Amino acid sequence: MKKTAIIGAGPAGIEAASVLAGSGVEVLLFEKSETPLSNLKDKAFLFPDFSAASDMVSELEDKLLKDNITRCFGTEIVEIKWKGTEWQLVSGKSEAWYADSVLIATGYSTFDARRKEELGYGIYKGVVTSLEMEKMIREGNIVNGHGDMPKRIAFLQCVGSRDEKSGNHYCSKVCCVTAVKQAIEVRKQLPRTDLTVFYMDLRMWGQGFEEMYRTAQEKYGIDFIRGRISEAAATFDDRVQIKTEDTLLGMPLRTTVDLLVLMVGMEASAGTRTLGASCGIGGEYGFIKTISPHLYDNDTGKPGLFAAGTCKRPLSIWDSINDGRSAAIAIKDYLDTLP
């Protein structure tokens, strides 16, 4: 049986593993954590249908219950090398495995909001990231830095995305709709809290997203103000004062909120950067570079070496799953050409 190694047990890696195993390929699935899907497990609900993330977790985990999938969890692959006829994978503990092809699905990490010091993350208690907000929504316990119910919440888009200063010129693609989703979730839990989203553009690119935005305005009374928050400061009672320009009125605004939620963007994960550099397929911003985004978007240009999911660029969960599936087909085609 031909063998494929998949690095990363997120949505893309698991979907690819499932499709390949189903078509008679032996799969080695590596994951640096002890358990799969750690980013997905951080989510409460998924856009645009508000389905529970935990349902998707269990469905994806079920896909791994196939005989020819070997799970190597708690194993971090730090180097992959082409050995003439097969790939060698080396772990941090210098163990080695061999496979006919390799799929890199090492995913993303979120932008460290402390790098935008002017926004006060890690300095003021009332400033949180979108990840922390997601956790509060999941636990049904949305509170400010003092454990009180927030009366006013502001969401700020593009933190660490579309930002020359942090070196990330790109759009992280999912934050716009995530803020709309989170604001609606907060509204459901806190009917009287004032909610405002500060944006530069609202990129409602996916099916059902624009409708979510419309519902957020019409049904949930969420305000949208065009303008990027330039800075945050603490008030004497430890709330957060923010400044922005309402760019549609050409008027400076200031306001005080109990929570400022920073919608942090996606960056290449440490694993993505390491493997990209080790095989010479690292592209812009540390993401993995494929031959072409149109027709060969899983091919790295190296024989039998493929990439899928957010190790290539920011993607939504559904994009990642589709990409894992498409990578599985590309891998199967490649394995069929081998003797």
Q: Which residues contact other proteins by CB under 8 A?
A: 194, 213-214, 217-218, 221, 224, 226, 243, 246, 248-249, 251-256
Closest separation in Å from C-beta 227 to other proteins:
11
Least CB distance from residue 155 to other proteins, whole Å?
Answer: 15
Task: Decide if 149 contacts 142 (C-beta within 8 A).
Answer: yes
Closest to other proteins by CB, 183 vs 288, is 183
Nearer to other proteins, 79 or 194 (CB): 194
Question: Measured between alpha carbons, how far is residue 84 from residues 4, 98, 218, 291 in Å?
Answer: 16, 12, 61, 21
Place of tokens 């949208």: 224
Q: How many CA atoms lie within 13 A of 297 on its CB side?
A: 16
Give the residue among 102, 106, 107 at the shortest CA–CA distance from 28.
102
What crossing angle do the helices spanning 175-189 and 130-139 adopt, rounded to 10°? 30
Q: Least Å distance between CB 24 and other proteins?
A: 51
CA dihedral 55, 61, 65, 69 (to 10 degrees): 150
Name the burial class of residue 234, with classes exposed (0-12), middle (13-18) and buried (19+) by CB atoms within 10 angstroms of its CB.
middle
Shorter beta-carbon distance to other proteins: residue 35 or 235 = 235
Shortest distance in whole angstroms from residue 172 CB to other proteins: 22
Q: Which of 152, 160, 138 is nearest to 193 (CA)?
A: 152
Q: How far is the CB of 191 from other proteins (least distance, A)?
A: 14
Closest to other proteins by CB, 35 or 230: 230
H or E stretch including 133? helix 130-139
Q: Which residues contact 98 (CB under 8 A, 6 or more apart)?
A: 3, 83, 86, 87, 88, 89
> Could you tell me the smallest distance in angstroms from the CB atom of residue 221 to other proteins?
7
Nearer to other proteins, 169 or 214 (CB): 214
Beta carbon nearer to other proteins, 248 or 277: 248
Beta pairing, strands 77-82 & 45-46:
unpaired
Rounded to a whole number of angstroms, the minimum distance from the CB of residue 330 to other proteins is 40
For the CB of residue 187, give the shortest distance to other proteins in the complex, in Å. 13
Asked whether the beta carbons of 140 and 185 are under 8 A apart, the reply is no
Question: Which of 157, 235, 236, 148 lies closest to 196 in space, CA to CA?
Answer: 157
Comparing CB distances to other proteins, the nearer of 139 and 201 is 201
Contact 107, 40 (CB under 8 A): no
| Nearer CB in complex with other proteins: 166/256 | 256
